[in-house]
């Protein structure tokens, strides 16, 4: 580790963050499991509805209520959330979900995804290339409208967004405020290498050097920032480094301006909200993922203090107790401006604070899929219902012979199994070729449940999204044949043989 790639820059100006955008752009769409499943989507939809109730008397009915998802990534959460919200909306109010990110490859992916078409046509979905750390004006691509002075309040969603934003780092050494400056070291990797290949960032060692801060006003563009740093002098023990989430605070301020002061943000992130949690658990070092992008723990206390200064309120709960489940850090909170939020707070308590939270759901799903314990089909079906029909649960069927399984079920369980497959299919949102396996398991499940039209729809979507495949074409042929549509079946078996002339069964089915 003898090459110094960078030193002397403040943390927020470090190369670590400059590479971030490149890393996302090159990696293509990805989805963080805990924030992209039907359970969290339904919880957020319920939370949204509680806030809509709080605002019900102020809503202008001939204008959409805009919901902006910030840093949406692949869009799986967006799909599941809008599906749920449309099902549950209790009043006659047009809504529009705007999915936004600042990475072009994600916007291209959304443009080409078949799941959006109907919603875009009916005006309930729009896209935006929007960076809320820089701007309070959001241009909507599909409707070609600019969202700058909306007539209705705004609801925003940030999942694992703040953790992906630049932070500064400070500590109080006795009375003296010191800033942390990252030192990036490696064995021969240079900044130019990193720009071309952000994954190399994993081989870079990041440490921090603390130096006294000289200037009086650190952030002249927002005097509250300096006030908050000063509050940490009392709030946190001396010599404890604390992250300063300046870009997350700018996001809150810009969204508040965009919403003209009537705003609710639902957030899910790896956040700590009390001085005790920050002292004990918060890690100020950046985590570098396999793709080279960085993330840090979120200083939720600083965000709450900032929200207070902007005359808003935030509802959060202490870090969940330590369990045997160490893999994922995730907590939810809600930020509210321009409303007392009686229903918002009630719903937050029952959905997140005291209820079976998205983190709880994630833990159980992970346990079932770990293979550590054996579960019967009956128990698995209950788990799938508890997950609100999460397609990743299909991995449970991976090692089973689907045909034998369906044929072995007694009538009532067979019926439930079929209904479960049908519901799982409603929630399937393809992102990359890794989802082909789930898609194929789903198609098999629907076939043995005799749900042929849905089986065919899933296979045709898979072919559109991931490209031609003899496996999918052959199974499509089987499905048409079982339905008695013999000409269509023949066509699919022929296509299978074109793709794979040695396909063992396609020839047999043609003769």
- The correct pick among 19, 50, 97, 103 for binding ligand SAM (CB under 6 A) is 103
Contacts of 338 (CB under 8 A, 6+ apart): 153, 259, 261, 262, 263, 312
Residue placing its CB nearer to ligand SAM in the complex, 102 or 171: 102
Among 52, 156, 164, 465, indicate the residue that binds ligand SAM (CB under 6 A): 164
Give the Cβ contact number of residue 324 at 10 Å. 6
Nearer to ligand SAM, 27 or 436 (CB): 27
Sign of the dihedral through C-alpha 36, 39, 45, 50: negative
- 54 vs 131, which CB is nearer to ligand SAM? 131
32 belongs to the binding site for ligand SAM (CB under 6 A): yes
Strands 331-337 and 313-315, sheet pairing: antiparallel
User: What are the strands, taking DSSP E only, across 196-273?
Assistant: 205-212, 242-244, 263-269, 271-272
Q: Which residue is nearest to ligand SAM (CB)?
A: 71
Tokens of 421: 């497959």
511 class by beta-carbon count within 10 Å (0-12 exposed, 13-18 middle, 19+ buried): exposed
| Helix, strand or coil, per DSSP, at residue 276 | helix
Q: Minimum CB separation from ligand SAM for residue 337, in Å?
A: 20
Using the contact rule CB under 6 A, the part of the chain among 157-165, 331-339, 362-370, 497-505 near ligand SAM is 157-165
In 3D space, the residue among 263, 268, 242 whose CA is nearest the CA of residue 253 turns out to be: 263
Q: Is 78 in the site for ligand SAM (CB under 6 A)?
A: no
Q: Please report how close the Cβ of residue 390 comes to ligand SAM at its closest, in angstroms.
A: 15
Q: Residues of 8-22 as b/e, b for ≥16 C-beta within 10 angstroms?
A: eebbbebbbbbbbeb
Of 127, 180, 135, the residue nearest 9 (C-alpha): 180
54 lies in the binding site for ligand SAM (CB under 6 A): no
Q: Which one of 101, 168, 390, 461 is in contact with ligand SAM (CB under 6 A)?
A: 101
Instruction: Give the range of 32-40, 416-424, 482-490, 501-509 binding ligand SAM by CB under 6 A.
Output: 32-40
Q: Is 36 in the site for ligand SAM (CB under 6 A)?
A: yes
Closer by beta carbon to ligand SAM, 257 or else 490: 257
Least distance (Å) between residue 149 CB and ligand SAM? 22
Looking at beta carbons, which pairs linking 228-231 to residues 24 or more positions away fall under 8 Å?
Answer: 228/302, 228/305, 228/306, 228/309, 229/170, 229/177, 231/305
> Residue 35 interacts with ligand SAM (CB under 6 A)?
yes
From 83-91, 158-166, 297-305, 474-482, give the range in contact with ligand SAM by CB under 6 A: 158-166
Instruction: Restricting to residues 11-30, name those near ligand SAM by CB under 6 A.
Output: 24
Dist. CA 334–CA 51, nearest whole Å:
10
DSSP three-state, residue 197: coil
Q: Are 86 and 65 in contact (CB under 8 A)?
A: no
CB of 82 to ligand SAM, least distance (A): 15
- For 467, the 3-state DSSP assignment is coil
Which C-beta is closer to ligand SAM: that of 254 or that of 492?
254
Name which position in 71, 150, 292, 391 contacts ligand SAM (CB under 6 A): 71
Pick 14 or 159: Cβ nearer ligand SAM: 159
Confirm or reject binding of residue 294 to ligand SAM (CB under 6 A): no
* Coil, strand or helix at 32: coil
CA distances from 10 to 50, 199, 231, 297 (A): 41, 22, 21, 17
Give 180 or 358: the residue with its C-beta nearer to ligand SAM.
358
Alpha-carbon distance values, 393 to 315, 341, 495 (Å): 31, 35, 31
Q: How far is the CB of 357 from ligand SAM (least distance, A)?
A: 16
Least distance in Å: CB of 102 to ligand SAM? 4
- Interface map 111-150 toward ligand SAM (x if CB under 6 A): --------------------x-x-----------------
Residues in the chain: 511
Does residue 119 contact residue 99 with C-beta atoms inside 8 Å? no
Q: If binding is defined by CB under 6 A, does position 390 make contact with ligand SAM?
A: no
Contact segment (CB under 6 A) with ligand SAM among 156-164, 356-364, 376-384, 428-436 equals 156-164
Exactly one of 51, 159, 332, 417 binds ligand SAM (CB under 6 A); that residue is 159
Rule CB under 6 A: choose which of 38, 64, 73, 338 binds ligand SAM. Answer: 73
**E strand spans, 292-338:** 294-295, 298-299, 313-315, 331-337
Least distance between ligand SAM and beta carbon 384 (Å): 22
Q: How many residues bind ligand SAM (CB under 6 A)?
A: 18
| Residue 506 contacts residue 489 (beta carbons within 8 Å) | no
Q: State yes or no: residue 258 binds ligand SAM (CB under 6 A).
A: no
- Asked whether position 31 contacts ligand SAM by CB under 6 A, the answer is yes
Place of tokens 């202490």: 318
Sign of CA dihedral 192, 204, 198, 73: negative
Residues of this chain that interact with ligand SAM (CB under 6 A) are: 24, 31-32, 35-36, 71-73, 101-103, 131, 133, 159-161, 164-165
């Amino acid at each position: 580790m003898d090459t110094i790639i960078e030193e002397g820059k403040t943390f927020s100006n470090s190369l670590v963050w400059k590479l971030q955008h490149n890393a996302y752009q090159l990696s293509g769409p990805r989805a963080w499991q805990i924030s992209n499943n039907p359970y969290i989507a339904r919880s957020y939809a319920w939370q949204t509805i509680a806030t809509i109730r709080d605002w019900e008397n102020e809503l202008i009915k001939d204008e959409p209520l805009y919901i902006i998802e910030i840093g949406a990534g692949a869009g799986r959460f967006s799909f599941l959330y809008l599906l749920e919200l449309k099902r549950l909306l209790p009043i006659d109010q047009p809504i529009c979900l705007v999915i936004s990110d600042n990475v072009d490859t994600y916007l291209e992916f959304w443009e080409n995804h078949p799941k959006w078409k109907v919603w875009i046509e009916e005006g309930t979905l729009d896209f935006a290339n929007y960076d809320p750390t820089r701007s309070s004006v959001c241009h909507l691509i599909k409707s070609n409208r600019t969202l700058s002075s909306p007539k209705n309040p705004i609801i925003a969603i940030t999942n694992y967004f703040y953790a992906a934003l630049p932070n500064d780092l400070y500590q109080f050494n006795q009375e003296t405020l010191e800033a942390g400056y990252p030192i990036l070291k490696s064995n021969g990797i240079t900044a130019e290498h990193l720009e071309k290949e952000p994954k190399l960032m994993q081989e870079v060692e990041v440490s921090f050097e603390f130096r006294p801060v000289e200037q009086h006003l650190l952030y002249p563009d927002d005097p509250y920032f300096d006030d908050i740093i000063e509050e940490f002098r009392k709030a946190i023990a001396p010599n404890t480094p604390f992250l300063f989430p300046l870009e997350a605070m700018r996001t809150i301020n810009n969204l508040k301006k965009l919403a003209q002061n009537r705003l609710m943000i639902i957030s899910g992130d790896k956040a700590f909200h009390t001085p005790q949690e920050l002292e004990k658990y918060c890690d100020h070092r950046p985590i570098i993922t396999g793709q080279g992008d960085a993330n840090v723990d979120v200083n939720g206390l600083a965000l709450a203090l900032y929200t207070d200064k902007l005359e808003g309120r935030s509802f959060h709960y202490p870090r969940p107790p330590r369990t045997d489940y160490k893999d994922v850090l995730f907590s939810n909170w809600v930020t509210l401006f321009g409303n007392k939020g009686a229903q918002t707070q009630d719903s937050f308590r029952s959905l997140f604070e005291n209820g079976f939270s998205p983190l709880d759901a994630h833990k159980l799903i992970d346990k079932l899929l770990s293979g550590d314990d054996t579960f019967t089909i009956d128990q698995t079906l209950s788990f799938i219902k508890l997950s609100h029909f999460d397609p990743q649960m299909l991995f449970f069927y991976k090692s089973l012979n689907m045909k034998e399984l369906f044929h072995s079920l007694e009538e009532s369980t067979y019926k439930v199994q079929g209904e479960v497959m049908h519901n799982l299919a409603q929630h399937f949102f393809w992102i990359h070729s890794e989802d082909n396996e789930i898609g194929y398991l789903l198609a098999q499940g629907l076939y043995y449940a005799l749900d042929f039209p849905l089986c065919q729809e899933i296979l045709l979507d898979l072919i559109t999204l991931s490209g031609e495949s003899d496996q999918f074409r052959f199974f499509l042929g089987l499905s048409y044949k079982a339905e008695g549509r013999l000409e269509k079946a023949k066509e699919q078996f022929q296509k299978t043989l074109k793709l794979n002339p040695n396909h063992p069964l396609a020839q047999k089915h043609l003769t």
